[in-house]
Amino acid sequence: MTIRLAASAVGEAAALLRAGKLVAFPTETVYGLGGDATSDESVASIFAAKGRPRFNPLIVHLSHTDHAEKFAQIDGRAARLMRRFWPGPLSLVLRRAPRCPISLLASAGLDTLALRVPGHPLALELLRAVGRPIAAPSANRSGRVSPTTADHVLGEFDTYIAAVLDAGPCRVGVESTVVDLTGKTPLLLRPGGIATEELEALLGPLAVPSPEEAPRAPGMLASHYAPRLPLRLNVTSVDAGEALLAFGPDAPSLAKETRWLSKSGDVDEAAANLFSMLRALDRADFTAIAVMPIPEHGLGRAINDRLRRAATR
């Protein structure tokens, strides 16, 4: 059962987040489904709670603009936008910093990261109390509209999330504007709470991803990290020279190296490990990465979607 916490219980909400639990909280745009962005397990449970058929990268929320450079590479354009619009409804897609401690699953395996400092006093109080970056998609189940009250959130989730911090309706009501600054030309990935005109006044013209570039647009995964090595899926045996990504208790032997997505066969645990293990095995001394079958239920569907895309590159 999800508990409703009053705004005064922000300390309790912070303690739950620090313990790896999920807490929905208000921002000025919509309610977010928050989890510790540095924990693969917490981030995996966000995807599980949303029932997303695949992994979309998540927006990571910070309590202060100064913290951004710990997590991402900030160029002049990003610095100008952050100074002008943060705290506020603008999310910036930036390159991850070299030793970025944020879960790769929050970035859906990408080398990029969406960051924002929300403009809601209670969200900021919560983020300060947690003392860690918080990954938070809108607090709705996949395919439903974003919630702007705590009641909406409670209507969406009964299990999975520990609590919702209730601060009444959200002021903006539409999600943040998402701008991708990882290329030469800034891309408007999602119109939202900050008007395009306001951004263009500072940045010059914003490009909108064309259909050919659509892979960069939200939810499209074709541009996502794919290993350099070929992937062989649904394997029951391993060829000499291959590394193995194992699932379940019985892994074929012979692999040069084996990493277990989940020994107990838990798809949430497997999701938490997926991107970091793929990266760890993507080494020139192996010929391929063999992947054991993952069941098509819960996050297993998202894992298989991701693996199929990575395998067909």
Where along the sequence are the contacts to ligand TXA (CB under 6 A)?
27, 29-30, 32, 56-59, 89, 91, 93, 107, 110, 112-114, 118, 136-138, 175-176, 178, 180, 189-190, 218-219
Rounded to the nearest whole angstrom, what is the least distance from the CB of residue 30 to Mg ion in the complex?
8
Which option in ligand TXA, Mg ion, none does residue 42 bind, with CB closer than 5 to 8 A by kind?
Answer: none
- Pick between residue 21 and residue 224 the one whose CB is nearest to ligand TXA: 224
How many residues interact with Mg ion (rule CB under 5 A)?
Answer: 1
CB < 8 Å & 24+ apart, contacts of 267-270: 267/294, 267/295, 267/297, 267/298, 267/299, 267/300, 267/303, 268/41, 268/44, 268/45, 268/48, 268/298, 268/299, 269/41, 269/44, 270/294, 270/299, 270/300, 270/303
Rounded to the nearest whole angstrom, what is the least distance from the CB of residue 227 to Mg ion in the complex?
28
Which option in ligand TXA, Mg ion, none does residue 119 bind, with CB closer than 5 to 8 A by kind?
Answer: none
Of 205, 158, 162, 171, the closest CA to residue 42 belongs to: 162
Rounded to an integer, what distance in angstroms lies between the CA atom of residue 244 and that of residue 292? 8
Of 42, 47, 3, 40, the closest CA to residue 20 belongs to: 42
Which option in ligand TXA, Mg ion, none does residue 258 bind, with CB closer than 5 to 8 A by kind?
Answer: none
- The beta strands (E) that lie in 235-288 are given as 243-247, 257-262
Rounded to the nearest whole angstrom, what is the least distance from the CB of residue 33 to Mg ion in the complex?
9
Q: Which residue from 27, 29, 107, 138 is in contact with Mg ion, where contact means CB under 5 A?
A: 138
Contact (CB, 8 A) for 224 and 109: yes
Contact (CB, 8 A) for 115 and 72: yes
- Pick between residue 82 and residue 114 the one whose CB is nearest to Mg ion: 114
Which option in ligand TXA, Mg ion, none does residue 218 bind, with CB closer than 5 to 8 A by kind?
Answer: ligand TXA
Rounded to the nearest whole angstrom, what is the least distance from the CB of residue 201 to Mg ion in the complex?
27
- Pick between residue 33 and residue 229 the one whose CB is nearest to Mg ion: 33
Which option in ligand TXA, Mg ion, none does residue 110 bind, with CB closer than 5 to 8 A by kind?
Answer: ligand TXA
Rounded to the nearest whole angstrom, what is the least distance from the CB of residue 173 to ligand TXA in the complex?
10
Give the CA radius of gyration of the chain.
20
Place of tokens 């911090």: 165
- Pick between residue 46 and residue 290 the one whose CB is nearest to ligand TXA: 46
Rounded to an integer, what distance in angstroms lies between the CA atom of residue 94 and that of residue 113? 5
Give the DSSP letter of residue 185: S
Rounded to the nearest whole angstrom, what is the least distance from the CB of residue 231 to ligand TXA in the complex?
22
Which option in ligand TXA, Mg ion, none does residue 59 bind, with CB closer than 5 to 8 A by kind?
Answer: ligand TXA
- The beta strands (E) that lie in 105-239 are given as 112-116, 134-135, 163-166, 177-180, 187-190, 231-232
Select the span of 138-146, 190-198, 229-237, 300-308 touching Mg ion (CB under 5 A).
Answer: 138-146
- Pick between residue 31 and residue 286 the one whose CB is nearest to Mg ion: 31
Which option in Mg ion, ligand TXA, none does residue 32 bind, with CB closer than 5 to 8 A by kind?
Answer: ligand TXA
Rounded to an integer, what distance in angstroms lies between the CA atom of residue 282 and that of residue 61? 30
Contact (CB, 8 A) for 101 and 119: no
Interface residue list for Mg ion (CB under 5 A)? 138
